[in-house]
Amino acid sequence: MVLKDISVDCVIFGFNNDKLNVLLWQGEIEPLKQLLNPEKENEQIKEIFEINPAHKSDRLWGLVGLHLQADEDLDGYAKKILQITTGIDNVYLTQVKTFGDTNRVPGLRVLTVAYYALINPDYHDLKLSPLAKAIKWYDIEDLPDVIFDHKEIIQNSLKKLRQEVQYHPVGFHLLPEKFTLTQLQRLYEIILDKKLDTRNFRKKIQNMKLLVDTNEKQTNVAHRAAKLYSFDIDIYNQLKEEGLNFRI
Amino acid sequence: MVLKDISVDCVIFGFNNDKLNVLLWQGEIEPLKQLLNPEKENEQIKEIFEINPAHKSDRLWGLVGLHLQADEDLDGYAKKILQITTGIDNVYLTQVKTFGDTNRVPGLRVLTVAYYALINPDYHDLKLSPLAKAIKWYDIEDLPDVIFDHKEIIQNSLKKLRQEVQYHPVGFHLLPEKFTLTQLQRLYEIILDKKLDTRNFRKKIQNMKLLVDTNEKQTNVAHRAAKLYSFDIDIYNQLKEEGLNFRI
DNA sequence: CCAAAAGTGTTAGACCTACACCCATGA
DNA sequence: TCATGGGTGTAGGTCTAACACTTTTGG
């Protein structure tokens, strides 16, 4: 049974081409109806789809999200949403906050619990699920018009990511398994929206002991090949628990 | 109209006698029923009250909380809950997270959006509302048995407060308007669960420029009277926005 | 051999830690 | 005059910010 007054939305962040991107989608009505209410169509479910511009317009995009089901744990359902709408699995996912103004969705009283996910697009090929009419990465600096209060949800998630990245080692989830220090620096520069000094950045990162030299290098680049690093999962877990100071 | 699957719970923190306390209550059934469903009693509302041990037991305590109403904004309703259950008004209140495991309340599918409030008990006389059978401060170190997952909600809120206090100047809301540096230090020691060095603490605090010397002193204390400070609201707002580093 | 990005060290100032004694007050 | 908590300074170590040149690679 679908809970008509609670939905779960995921802000999926990806880092690519030195840009921070968000994944947006347009849902496909018929399969969604079946997913959410296999037996019968009641008035409220009809309402969800008929009022909701996300399901009518080809022009508007929205966050990946669905109404919560009665028999699903909240955190588990956020994971499941990622899975069934994009094929993405096994990623860093964390609750942002719950949005619950009465007028956030016109004509329908529905709260949404927002999550953000951090993924590395190189490692997660999106498969277009039957639920999705369309799915697309948008640069965070250049978002299209979105439905409801999704703009606000994205801004809040970005703000939270910015906070998080300063005190916990989460940014790494946006990078490929092996990465260069320059990639890492760009990532921080973009999330924090601030130029960083390369020498100081490197010293700071190396002092954390979090990075492991893979003894590999870039290949086929038209300049000196950079060393590739990965991160140490034990030290990652320790830093995640203790916190770290990355106020730069 | 009450939303049967969403409630809002408030973890009210207060600082008193060098202890961090939480306010717990036991609700009074009849007035609650009327508040939540003035017209008619439907099955689901009955269920809320009959299954909920908070409303049956004199032994169990719970967080101050109510089911959300359809015509109330989420944030506004959290404020209102504080108001109508305890008479407390105009306090620092912030969303913690939403708890939504399917089995968190036996026999009823209900999510709860948790908030925490920071108050200074000296400035907020609790009035026992008709909704409350009983209401009581408990030391965070010595909580009674509580209903549902309220223990987990309290632990999560405390964890969030601990985080928050290290990077934002929120702790001050737990103190009276004028306070001594020793009070402030005790507060940090208790929240962070760590002894702090007095000289270093004072240097650190004074460097922030946040405190204003009121030119007043304690009176009637059997030792050297301490200076009283208040905090500068402009610098408070600035630090709240920018963040501060209080990892000590 | 050129263009492009990788990689590296030093210095001055700020901040952090550890530590012990005298001061003011009321009883 | 005593018990109680208030209030203060310094030195050594660590972290931060500012800054420019050499190295490696492929084209």
| Residue A1, CB, strand D, below 7 Å | no
Inspect the interface and report whether the beta carbons of B109 and A243 lie closer than 8 Å: no
| pLDDT recorded at residue A42 | 58
Instruction: Give me the mean pLDDT over the B129-152 stretch.
Output: 93
| pLDDT recorded at residue A54 | 62
Inspect the interface and report whether the beta carbons of A113 and B100 lie closer than 8 Å: yes
- Specify the fold of B2-164: Nucleoside Triphosphate Pyrophosphohydrolase (3.90.79)
CATH number of A170-242: 1.10.10.10
Inspect the interface and report whether the beta carbons of B247 and A247 lie closer than 8 Å: no
| Closest nucleotide C1' to the C-alpha of A247 | D16
To probe the interface with B, which of A97, A99, A116 has the most B CB atoms within 10 Å?
A97
One digit per residue, the tens of pLDDT, for chain A of length 248 reads 889 899 999 999 999 888 999 999 998 877 777 766 645 555 666 666 666 666 666 778 999 999 999 999 999 999 999 999 999 999 999 999 999 999 999 888 999 999 999 999 888 888 888 888 899 999 999 999 999 999 999 999 999 999 999 999 999 999 999 999 999 999 999 999 999 999 999 999 999 999 999 999 999 999 999 999 999 999 999 999 888 888 88
Instruction: Give me the mean pLDDT over the B39-68 stretch.
Output: 72
Give the chain A residue whose CA is nearest to the CA of B100: A74
Inspect the interface and report whether the beta carbons of B95 and A98 lie closer than 8 Å: yes
| Residue B199, CB, strand D, below 7 Å | yes
| pLDDT recorded at residue A37 | 60
In DSSP notation, B68-97 reads EETTS-HHHHHHHHHHHHH---S-EEEEEE
CB A110 within 8 A of CB A54: no
Instruction: Give me the mean pLDDT over the B69-89 stretch.
Output: 95
| pLDDT recorded at residue B124 | 85
CB B92 within 8 A of CB B177: no
In the structure, how far is the CA atom of residue A197 from the C1' atom of nucleotide C10, in angstroms? 15
Helix axes B150-167, B181-192, angle to 10 degrees: 130
* Cβ-based neighbours of A227, under 8 Å, separated by 6 or more: A180, A181, A213, A214, A216, A217
In DSSP notation, A94-145 reads EEEEEE--TTSSTTS--EEEEEEEEE-GGG------TTEEEEEEEETTS---
Angle at A19 between CA A66 and CA A151, to 5 degrees: 40
In chain A, residues 176 through 205 whose Cβ sits under 7 angstroms from any atom of nucleic acid strand D: 197-200, 203-204
| pLDDT recorded at residue A60 | 87
Instruction: Give me the mean pLDDT over the B25-48 stretch.
Output: 67
In this prediction, residue B104 has a pLDDT band, given cuts at 50, 70 and 90, of very high
Residue B30 has pLDDT above 90, yes or no: no
| pLDDT recorded at residue A55 | 65
| pLDDT recorded at residue B175 | 95
β-pair partners for A20: A15
Read off the pLDDT of residues B159-184 as tens digits, 9 standing for 90 and up: 999 999 999 999 999 999 999 999 99
Residue B42 has pLDDT above 80, yes or no: no
Footprint of strand C on the protein (CB under 7 A): A 180-182, 198-200, 202-203, 222-227; B 197-200, 203-204, 207, 217, 219-225, 245, 248
Nucleotides in chain D with any atom closer than 7 Å to protein CB: 3-10, 15-20, 23-27
Half-sphere exposure of A151 (CA within 13 A, CB side): 9
| pLDDT recorded at residue A123 | 83
Read off the pLDDT of residues B197-244 as tens digits, 9 standing for 90 and up: 999 999 999 999 999 999 999 999 999 999 999 999 999 999 998 888
> How many angstroms away from the CA of B116 is the closest CA of chain A?
13
Per CB-CB distance under 8 Å, the chain B contacts of A166 are 243
Q: Record the pTM.
A: 0.93
At B87, give phi and psi (nearest 5°).
Answer: 80, 0
A113 reaches B (C-beta below 8 A): yes
> How many angstroms away from the CA of B218 is the closest CA of chain A?
37
Kindly list the domain boundaries of chain A, sorted by start residue.
2-164, 170-242
| pLDDT recorded at residue B33 | 72
To probe the interface with B, which of A98, A115, A241 has the most B CB atoms within 10 Å?
A98
Inspect the interface and report whether the beta carbons of B111 and A6 lie closer than 8 Å: yes
